[in-house]
Amino acid sequence: GESVGLHLPTLSVQEGDNSIINCAYSNSASDYFIWYKQESGKGPQFIIDIRSNMDKRQGQRVTVLLNKTVKHLSLQIAATQPGDSAVYFCAETSMNTGTASKLTFGTGTRLQVTL
Amino acid sequence: GAVVSQHPSWVICKSGTSVKIECRSLDFQATTMFWYRQFPKQSLMLMATSNEGSKATYEQGVEKDKFLINHASLTLSTLTVTSAHPEDSSFYICSAGGPTSGRANEQFFGPGTRLTVL
């Protein structure tokens, strides 16, 4: 599959508020999903992942929700900080045992944290 | 652990020349490496997947004769952009995965290489 981003939606939140970033994925056969953070001029950084046998997973200040019925992912960031400002991408794939599989990236959302 | 590096971090070249970008896994064996291209304000687009010792598998629409990929060792893959033109200017990102990374099903991303073709 391919993901082509023609524009980058922006979410502005105030420091200390919670952020919710949404993503619609395309392949119903995908069973592994990852959220990445990308700062300007850098490569993607892993944030959190979730497998299709789960609908929620929590990390430190982040929570990922998966709704397979409507093929929707969300990333929730609690108490958003200025350092959270970046572009966030979801990615989907099918897991192969013992090997990395190719990822299909979503369009991305730019998160701007205002003081 | 699971660190991936790229070299160079940025490069400027003249139209018609070739440019080689290196991707290295520093602390694990990368049995699989991926090359992505990212245009400004856009998402990452997979160009090709390479397995060590095998020919790369290119995504639809990616010219294999223009984007030469070599994955000759378990720690190094190279992407050569041949006869580069201004439209090839982009941010090229590699990722690598392998069982010895500690997380066999995941891929770890390099910092990217900014290519500008004049």
pLDDT in tens, A35-66: 999 999 999 999 999 999 999 999 999 999 99
- pLDDT band, residue B54 (cuts 50/70/90): confident
B114 has a chain A CB within 8 A of its CB: yes
DSSP notation for A94-106:
--BTTB----EE-
pLDDT in tens, B33-47: 999 999 999 999 999
A40 has a chain B CB within 8 A of its CB: no
What are the residue ranges of helices labelled H in A10-109? none
DSSP state of A69: T
Helix, strand and coil percent figures for chain B, each rounded to 5: 5, 50, 45
CB contact under 8 A, B96 and A100: yes
Closest alpha carbon to A35 in A57, A11, A2: A57
pLDDT at A98: 66
Which among A43, A49, A104 has CB closest to B93? A43
pLDDT in tens, A53-104: 999 999 999 999 999 999 999 999 999 999 999 999 999 998 866 678 889 9
pLDDT at A97: 64
pLDDT at B84: 97
